[in-house]
Structure 1
Amino acid sequence: MVLKIWQDIEKGKLHPLFLVTGTENFLLQETTKKIVQAGLNEEEKDFNLSVHDMEETSVDVAIEDAETLPFLGEKRIVIIQNPVFLTAEKKKEKIDHNLDRLIQYIQEPAPFTTMVFSAPYEKLDERKKITKLIKKQAQIVEAKNLSNNETELFIHSLAKQEGNTIESAAVLEIMFLTNGNLTAISQEMNKLCTYAGFGNDITQELTSQLVARSLEQNIFELIDKVVNKKGEKALQIFYDLLKTNEEPIKILSLITTQFRLILQTKQLSSAGYGQKQIAGNIKIHPYRVKLALEQARLFDEEELKDIIKQLADADYELKTGKKDKKLIIELFLLKLFK
């Protein structure tokens, strides 16, 4: 849905009112950026673009801007950041907002102005009259985690706009290496498109070479080797991490985090939750849920609980210095290979 709205915006289809709401910061910023680019050229921004933070400024000031005729242009864009009056949140230093005047404006917005409400909140207060009215009158853009399919389409769209194509395997590789983080995806795609050159295909081999692996991704691969009984390769990843001066205590902590995620996803899946519901419940990207569920199928619930107990014991030994730190993790891994 977000990608479709972006396409309309890029074609110049600007509504008088936009409500961009959710906690996915990249989508909040990118949507606002696209609206500004579609409505104003660089010279017009100085005169016809205004940004108002509702935690610091009264909405009256924003409305006055919106009702002022554009200068040296045909369009004015007014960004209203942090519209706290749409939520149930209470602020210590509350600004006195004239919501009656805002209601009047929303009912009859200036024909030459696009007003954007950028609301970085998980939920809006649906009981409020102002919230109901804005949701009725505005083009709504949900800045929330994209589904796996939407993330794949997003990556393809980034390649297309730079004149490139991208292999399906490379798309999955990028999703894995970035944990589905849209900011990271955008940065990595920019790098890949630049390196590949206009009109060329982005391959999985290229993504493996150029997209950096985080410690978390290396831990995921380590566990993936473990669960698929590839002990030698798992130990090699562990030794490579030690060579890069990663602390054993941090490695063990991330192994524990991943196994807890595998257990959580297994329990929620068994309770009838789908991937999207699980992702919303534990606040992670749906693609990470998909990968965790694939690993969860190789264990029963009791095995996972026993592994987490073993990890807790290893953590205790590691912190009390009873054994060599490297040896503690090696012994834990070797037990899993059996």
Structure 2
Amino acid sequence: MILDIWKSIERKQFAPVYLLYGNEAFLINETKQLLTKHVLSEDEIDFNLSVFDLEETPIEAALEDVETLPFLGERKLVFLQNAFFLTAEKNKSKVEHEVSRLEAYLADPAPYSIVAITAPYEKLDERKKITKELKRKTTILEAKKLNEQELRVWVRERAAASNVQIEEAAINLLMEISGTNLMLLANEIEKLSLYAEEKLINTEMVEKLVAKSFEQNIFTLIDKILQRKIEPALTIYYELLRQNEEPIKILSVMAGQIRMLYQVKELVRQGYGQQKIASVLKVHPYRVKLALEKAGSFSEKELIRLIYQLAEADYQMKTGQAEKRLAIELILLKMGT
């Protein structure tokens, strides 16, 4: 749905009113940038782009501007931000909104104005009349986490926007290294596009150019441990130390990742599917997919043993019974046995 809305905007098929809500800020900002780019020319932005913060400005005052004719142009674009009156959440703003004025506008929107109402909140109050009216009469973009399929399409189209193609295997590796953070993925795709001499991003380029996050380095370290490849695991550990990462932080993330592998394995045993596991653990489904690929190769007994070993090392480090750097080195060696 999100990608369909973006394509319509790029084709200059605009809706009179958009409702952008959800806590994935990148998607809201991306949509606002697309609207600005395609609704107005560069010369028109200064005259026909208006932005109102509804925590500071009453909706009726903002709508006066919406209904004012554009200056030296065919259209005007108006962003109405932070529509807190659409939620049940408490807000510190003392501004009172005459929402009936917005209801009246929705019944007869100005033909020359494109309005985007943003509500950067996880949920809207569906009991409110104005919420129901907006959902019935506007084009809605729910800015939530993209699922794996949507994320793959988004990566391909993001690369295409930079006039490059990206191999499917390269998408897999990019998502494995960078995770599902859209801002981080966008930055990496932009960087890869600049180096794609043949207009094709492959796995070799991703491996060479994409910086691994701290969490990804730990994920790789855990992967090496579970494969009993202790020498590469130690190499990653020493590199993290050279980057001045704290041993206790390294241990904490290691424990968290192994604990998630165990939880995923246990939830699968109870009959949970990938989406349900993601909901229970409050992580992106793609992380669950990666965990499922790893957890299936190891018994619950092995994972529990690793959790206890890490807990013991944590206790010794925090009570001064073991030198921090050496404690993790020893536990990595022990895990290989």
Answer whether TM exceeds 0.5 for this pair.
yes
Distance 1:283 1:322, change over 3 A: same
Moved more, 221-230 or 231-240: 231-240
CA–CA distance in structure 1, aligned partners of residues 63 and 43 of structure 2: 23
Amino acid at match of 1:241: L
1:307 CA drift (Å): 2.6
Distance 1:58 1:264, change over 3 A: farther
Instruction: Identify the residue that residue 78 of structure 1 maps to in structure 2.
Output: 78
CA–CA distance in structure 2, aligned partners of residues 45 and 329 of structure 1: 56
1:108 CA drift (Å): 1.2
Moved more, 229-238 or 260-269: 260-269
1:302 CA drift (Å): 4.7
Instruction: Identify the residue that residue 163 of structure 1 maps to in structure 2.
Output: 163
Moved more, 319-328 or 163-172: 319-328
1:76 CA drift (Å): 1.2
Instruction: Identify the residue that residue 296 of structure 2 maps to in structure 1.
Output: 297
1:70 CA drift (Å): 0.7
SS at match of 2:95: coil
Amino acid at match of 2:43: E
Instruction: Identify the residue that residue 267 of structure 1 maps to in structure 2.
Output: 266
Instruction: Identify the residue that residue 102 of structure 1 maps to in structure 2.
Output: 102
CA–CA distance in structure 2, aligned partners of residues 76 and 264 of structure 1: 52
CA–CA distance in structure 1, aligned partners of residues 294 and 239 of structure 2: 23
SS at match of 1:116: strand
TM-score, scaled relative to structure 1: 0.95
Moved more, 271-280 or 32-41: 271-280
SS at match of 2:77: strand
Moved more, 70-79 or 242-251: 242-251
Moved more, 292-301 or 19-28: 292-301
SS at match of 2:115: strand
CA–CA distance in structure 1, aligned partners of residues 5 and 147 of structure 2: 16
Q: How does 1:279-294 map to 2 (within 5 A)?
A: 279-294=278-293
Moved more, 5-14 or 241-250: 241-250
1:11 CA drift (Å): 0.4
1:178 CA drift (Å): 1.4
Instruction: Identify the residue that residue 200 of structure 2 maps to in structure 1.
Output: 201
Instruction: Identify the residue that residue 135 of structure 1 maps to in structure 2.
Output: 135
Matched-pair contact (CA < 8 Å) for 1:225–1:231:
yes
Instruction: Identify the residue that residue 41 of structure 2 maps to in structure 1.
Output: 41
Instruction: Identify the residue that residue 122 of structure 1 maps to in structure 2.
Output: 122
Amino acid at match of 1:204: T
TM-score, scaled relative to structure 2: 0.95
Amino acid at match of 1:336: M
CA–CA distance in structure 2, aligned partners of residues 271 and 49 of structure 1: 54
CA–CA distance in structure 1, aligned partners of residues 67 and 280 of structure 2: 42
Aligned residues: 337
Q: How does 1:1-338 map to 2 (within 5 A)?
A: 1-197=1-197, 200-338=199-337
Which deviations, in whole Å up to 9, do the C-alpha atoms of 1:60-81 show, x marking residues without a partner? 1211111111111111111111
SS at match of 1:50: strand
CA–CA distance in structure 2, aligned partners of residues 307 and 61 of structure 1: 61
Moved more, 265-274 or 179-188: 265-274
CA–CA distance in structure 1, aligned partners of residues 94 and 265 of structure 2: 44
Distance 1:114 1:281, change over 3 A: farther
Amino acid at match of 1:99: V
CA–CA distance in structure 1, aligned partners of residues 116 and 274 of structure 2: 32
Which deviations, in whole Å up to 9, do the C-alpha atoms of 1:230-288 show, x marking residues without a partner? 22221221122223332211111110121222233333333443323333443332221
CA–CA distance in structure 2, aligned partners of residues 19 and 316 of structure 1: 50
1:95 CA drift (Å): 1.2
Distance 1:277 1:78, change over 3 A: farther
CA–CA distance in structure 2, aligned partners of residues 159 and 267 of structure 1: 38
SS at match of 1:187: helix
SS at match of 2:55: coil
Structure 1 portions without partners, runs of 5+:
none
Percent pairwise identity? 50
Amino acid at match of 1:4: D
CA–CA distance in structure 2, aligned partners of residues 8 and 305 of structure 1: 51
Matched-pair contact (CA < 8 Å) for 1:179–1:285:
no
Which deviations, in whole Å up to 9, do the C-alpha atoms of 1:274-321 show, x marking residues without a partner? 323333443332221211222222334454344323222211111122
CA–CA distance in structure 2, aligned partners of residues 277 and 63 of structure 1: 42
